[in-house]
Amino acid sequence: MSAMLKIAGLGVSYGGLHALADVSLDVADGEFVTIVGPNGAGKTTLLKAISGAVRVESGHIEFRGRDVGALSPARRAALGIAHVPEGRRVFPSLTVLDNLELGSYRAAARPRRAESLEAVLALFPVLRSRAKQLAGSLSGGEQQMLALGRGLMAQPDLLLLDEPSQGLGPRIVEQIFETIAEIRRRRRLTILLVEQRVVEALELADRGYVLETGRVVLAGGRGALLADPRVQGAYLGA
């Protein structure tokens, strides 16, 4: 499999503090990769660097063989990178339907807007029944479904998911993870997931990276990471 995303020696700083230091990783076409690690490890910063939301200090980000480091977030989105940020970030004063349709602004997605909308509403039936409601009136779980649906409306090649379980109850979290697995099965979409729920995240993925204090400290296949004594000791309470 060829690398869709290739990151080499990535560095990002905020006010002189290193959020990411010499981070290198890759995601193959059609692969599901998870980034796990504690709070403050730099996981969110990594996704923001890929989508162009933060300035990169050093290193390279290649998407489909093209260096995208100098491109704006809008240009990266147009190339096929969709970022579903932490905290959901829906447009609360717009309807559910308006939020979803905004997701298909990418030129490549517009001709398939109706088809994409039907696929998203089939995936999240609750959004169909809430289509005319304001997004701000939805529950946290429904807003997360809306944020995921909006990301899928862009018909992305690479979906970046940042902490989709954040602030949600266990039952809703299980539902969200099941839906992510279903998206993968249906579309063979390339996914890079950032998540604190280490077991659930790694069980979904093909491979994973462990990020701590801005550095990759472990990398490997799903089974190898789940069996690693360091992962078990630090994250699984073993």
Mean pLDDT of 150-158: 93
Give the pLDDT score at 237. Answer: 64
Q: Convert the pLDDT of each residue in 87-109 to its tens digit.
A: 778 999 999 999 999 988 888 88
Give the pLDDT score at 147. Answer: 94
Helix (H, G, I), strand (E, B) or coil at 237: coil
Cα(199)–Cα(222) distance, rounded to whole angstroms?
10
Cα(145)–Cα(173) distance, rounded to whole angstroms?
11
pLDDT exceeds 60 at position 238: no
Give the pLDDT score at 15. Answer: 81
Q: Which residues are 33's β-sheet partners? A: 192, 207
Q: Which domains does the chain have, with CATH numbers?
A: 1-80+198-238 (3.40.50.300)
Mean pLDDT of 116-124: 92
Cα(167)–Cα(18) distance, rounded to whole angstroms?
27
pTM of the model: 0.92
Query: Comparing C-alpha atoms, which of 217, 236, 216 is closest to residue 226?
Result: 236
pLDDT exceeds 70 at position 1: no
Dihedral-angle region of residue 232 (phi above 0 means left; psi in -120 to 50 means alpha; beta otherwise): alpha
Give the pLDDT score at 13. Answer: 94
What percentage of the chain carries pLDDT values higher than 70? 99
**Max Cα–Cα distance, the chain, nearest Å:** 50
Pairing of strands 3-14, 158-162: unpaired
Q: What is 72-114 written as a DSSP string?
A: -HHHHHHHTEEEE-TT----TTSBHHHHHHHGGGSTTTGGGHH
Cα(158)–Cα(190) distance, rounded to whole angstroms?
5
CB 192 within 8 A of CB 20: no
